[in-house]
Amino acid sequence: MAILGNTSAAYPVAADAATTQVARGSGYRWGQLAIGIVCMAMIANLQYGWTLFVNPIGDRHGWSRAAIQVAFTIFVLTETWLVPIEGYLVDRFGPRIVVMVGGILCGIGWVINSYADTLTLLYVGAAVGGIGAGAVYGTCVGNSLKWFPDRRGLAAGLTAAGFGAGSALTIVPISAFIKSSGYEAAFFYFGIGQGLIVFALSWLLTVAPESRKIAKTSKVQQTRREYGPSEVIRKPVFWVMYVMFVMVGAGGLMAVAQLAPIAKDFKIADVPVSIMGLVLPALTFALAIDRVLNGVTRPFFGWVSDQIGRELTMLIAFGLEALGIMALYTFGQSPVAFVVLTGLVFFAWGEIYSLFPSTCADTFGSKNAAANAGLLYTAKGTASLLVPLSSVLAAATHSWQAVFLVAAALNAIAALMAWFVLRPMRAAQMDRSAQEA
């Protein structure tokens, strides 16, 4: 098959995947997208459900928040920094085997967490789960970029939405399970269940045909040349995107990891909130709404970027995020305002997981999309290094004010960089790629 060149004999897994590339109707790629979305939903709790476990773990073992949040940082680092390798494996061997192994590791990671009675073991569980989650995440996003070169923003957004909103349906069950049976049992049973579902679905994933690599109907300018990972890291425009990803990602990750401690310090975590006839504790309500909006924003802004361009969409979204963070700090001690404004923050943050992968593939091509997007995705791991620092900063100042101010400033700067720095640099890169092609 053309997509594998002459490697089919040397790489039997890829050859096996390639045999599925027979003529299929246009609906087939939507089925592949749906499988990726469900897989992403199954690994979402490894990140977005983490905040539910922070306080119970601290209460059980007496560990500090900062020490516990190191596990979150380890998870994000292993989830992100190994994605380029996993993306390379996807580009070489196809998505099936990588997702299969990832699902197994995700289950094992949470099982280890359920038995962790030392910080070291908790960190090991975080690392194992992170490797598994990264394998699933990087594969599903990369596969969507290859199947949908004409609608990259939308496809990457829908796939990332599975990760962003996937935990919405299980926030209440996990929270209730922790209260009734302990956080250890929640780690154990939900970990095994999620891992098994990913393992089963992995068998249905196939390689995108090579013929889809040129998007003739796209409204967004795309490169005329395919770039490998070794070439990408030598392009200044890649590092501009990387820095912007870190800046925006840091603020959102702080909110993801620290939402429960913030609500507890605001003394509103268990205050009942009624919205549209639904009554839930403020923290539980916020987490559920946040997951939904964090999922909705990814295909929404991805679709918008397919229509008006990536950089203009970034300017709008990142600016909205900066305003949302400051509003949350100013008005968040009201339970209703806390629920509504955290939803705004997550809505304006989650789109980075559709905008940056699609921008990367537009700029550097589809052939190595999984590995190249994986390189850019490591910025999330770099951003996660700031999460424990936010706990230290809050403890040192006895307030969340400095944390909110820093997060808002980073988003505001990234918004301006999108329009005044990234836009002209990408235009120049596109001109060079056309000349090279």
Q: What integer pLDDT is reported at residue 354 of this predicted model?
A: 92
> For the segment 36-89, what is each residue's pLDDT rounded down to a tens digit?
999 999 998 888 788 889 889 988 888 888 899 889 889 988 988 888 988 888
Using 50, 70 and 90 to split pLDDT, how confident is the model at 314? very high
Using 50, 70 and 90 to split pLDDT, how confident is the model at 218? low
CA distance 220 to 170: 36
Give mean pLDDT, residues 91-98. 90
CA distance 93 to 91: 6
Residue 278's φ and ψ, nearest 5 degrees, are -100, 130
CA distance 225 to 359: 15
If DSSP codes are grouped into helix, strand and coil, which group holds residue 226?
coil
Q: What is the pTM of this model?
A: 0.79
Cβ 149 vs Cβ 213: under 8 Å: yes
Percent pLDDT > 90 in the chain is 47
Average pLDDT, the chain: 86
CA distances to 66, 67, 237, 375, 398 from 353, in Å: 26, 27, 18, 13, 32
421: DSSP letter: I
Give mean pLDDT, residues 277-285. 85
Single out the residue of 248, 369, 379, 380 nearest to residue 317, CA to CA.
248
Q: Is the pLDDT of residue 155 over 50?
A: yes
Single out the residue of 317, 318, 324, 328 nearest to residue 401, CA to CA.
328
> For the segment 4-14, what is each residue's pLDDT rounded down to a tens digit?
333 333 334 44
Q: What integer pLDDT is reported at residue 259 of this predicted model?
A: 82
Q: What domains appear along the chain, each with residue ranges and CATH number? A: 2-436 (1.20.1250.20)
Q: What integer pLDDT is reported at residue 256 of this predicted model?
A: 66
Residue bearing tokens 């507890």? 264
> For the segment 60-71, what is each residue's pLDDT rounded down to a tens digit?
888 888 899 889
Q: Which of 203-207, 280-284, 323-327, 393-397 has the lowest mean pLDDT?
A: 393-397
Provide CB contacts within 8 A for 221, sequence distance 6+.
Answer: 362, 430
CA atoms within 13 A on the CB side of 396: 9
Q: Is the pLDDT of residue 232 over 50?
A: yes
Cβ 205 vs Cβ 36: under 8 Å: yes
CA distance 358 to 87: 15
Using 50, 70 and 90 to split pLDDT, how confident is the model at 27? confident
Across 51-60, 231-240, 340-349, the highest mean pLDDT is recorded for 231-240
What is the full DSSP assignment across 30-68?
A: HHHHHHHHHHHHHHTHHHHTTHHHHHHHHHHH---HHHH
CA distances to 73, 80, 143, 240, 243 from 371, in Å: 22, 12, 11, 18, 18
Q: Is the pLDDT of residue 332 over 50?
A: yes
- Burial 258-268, CB ≥16 within 10 A → b, else e: bbbbbbeebeb
